[in-house]
């Protein structure tokens, strides 16, 4: 099957995410989110490495953007970690409805903006001290250099980008097949993976929602795309911890592989 065009991939992925949104709203994890944000003004959804990195940067007085914010659980968490303001950008209006609900529950005045993240309005250029990208964003991007140009223009001079992502090593395997640690795909795969089922994180139902596309980006491409966007690498760490779907737990056995990473870069003055 030929790879889709840039615009076709973006449109198909948006359609699949919109169709998947009700399944996330009906999952038990939603009720846990509601309870935690309603009862604890300091609740944070971030995994420990990301929260530690955010605290090390210091969010007080910061204006923070999150690209591909999904249901806003991390955008709201940014304000619980003392960000002055937080804006979440996402292509799925269905997920942003959930994000706005979580923000109301938490009593946080987050802003959420719908649309293709590659086409964020120029009014946001140079407005942010920090741009955050987390867990499963980069694989949905057909052109990583084009994507990284976006946070580069959103950041003010001296601002930072902080990425906590799935490690591309996980794309080598099919963890639901035996043996799960058998290498089945190239690390340098060119063609995207094509899915048809709803995009869910756990073991719940995943009915067909139409084709969607997952692109493989080696770590070197991630780093080169940041450098190409004029950002200087400040920090890079790899971890054996699975931050992806429950299917990837089979890859985490024995903590043998890098399954996640943290990358921080800074825009020049």
Q: Got the DSSP string for the chain?
A: -PPPPHHHHHHHHHHHHHHHHHHHHHSHHHHHHHHHHHH-TT---S-HHHHHHHHHH--BT-EEEEES-TTSHHHHHHHHTTBSEEEEEES-HHHHHHHHHHHHHHT---EEEES-GGG--GGGTT-EEEEEEESSSGGG-S-HHHHHHHHHHHEEEEEEEEEEEE-GGGGG--TTSSSTTS--S-TT--SPEEEEE---SSSS---EEEEEEE----HHHHHHHHHHTTEEEEEEEEES---S-GGGHHHHGGG-S--EEEEEEEE--
CATH number where 49 lies: 3.40.50.150
| 219 in a structural domain | yes
| 256 in a structural domain | yes
| 16 in a structural domain | yes
pLDDT, position 22: 92
| 175 in a structural domain | yes
pLDDT, position 187: 98
Could you report the average pLDDT of every consecutive run of 10 residues in the chain (269 residues)? 89 96 90 96 96 96 97 98 98 96 97 97 98 96 98 98 98 95 97 94 82 97 98 98 92 95 96
What is the domain count for the chain?
Answer: 1
pLDDT, position 1: 59
| 1 in a structural domain | no
For the whole model, what pTM was predicted? 0.95
Which domain range does residue 213 map to? 6-267
pLDDT, position 192: 97
């Amino acid at each position: 099957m030929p790879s889709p065009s840039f615009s076709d991939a973006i449109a198909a992925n948006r359609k699949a995410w919109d169709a998947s949104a009700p399944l996330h709203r009906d999952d038990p994890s939603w009720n846990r989110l509601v309870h935690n944000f309603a009862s604890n003004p300091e609740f944070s959804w971030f995994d420990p490495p990301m929260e530690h990195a955010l605290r090390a940067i210091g969010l007080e007085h910061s204006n923070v953007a999150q690209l591909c914010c999904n249901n806003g659980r991390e955008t709201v968490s940014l304000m619980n970690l003392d960000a002055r303001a937080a804006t979440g950008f996402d292509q799925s209006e269905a997920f942003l409805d959930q994000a706005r609900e979580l923000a109301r529950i938490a009593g946080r005045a987050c802003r959420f903006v719908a649309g293709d993240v590659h086409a964020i309005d120029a009014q946001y250029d140079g407005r942010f001290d920090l741009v955050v990208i987390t867990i499963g964003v980069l694989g949905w991007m057909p052109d990583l250099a084009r994507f990284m140009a976006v946070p580069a223009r959103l950041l003010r001079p001296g601002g930072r980008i902080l990425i906590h992502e799935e490690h591309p090593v996980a794309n080598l395997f099919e963890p639901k097949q035996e043996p799960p640690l058998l290498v089945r795909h190239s690390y340098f795969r060119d063609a995207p993976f094509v899915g048809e089922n709803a995009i869910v994180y756990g073991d719940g139902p995943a009915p067909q929602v139409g084709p969607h596309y997952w692109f493989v980006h080696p770590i070197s491409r991630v780093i080169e795309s940041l450098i190409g966007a004029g950002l200087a690498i400040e920090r890079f760490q790899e971890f054996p911890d699975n931050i992806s779907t429950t299917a990837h737990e089979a890859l985490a056995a024995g903590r043998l592989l890098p399954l996640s990473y943290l990358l921080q870069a800074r825009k020049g003055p």
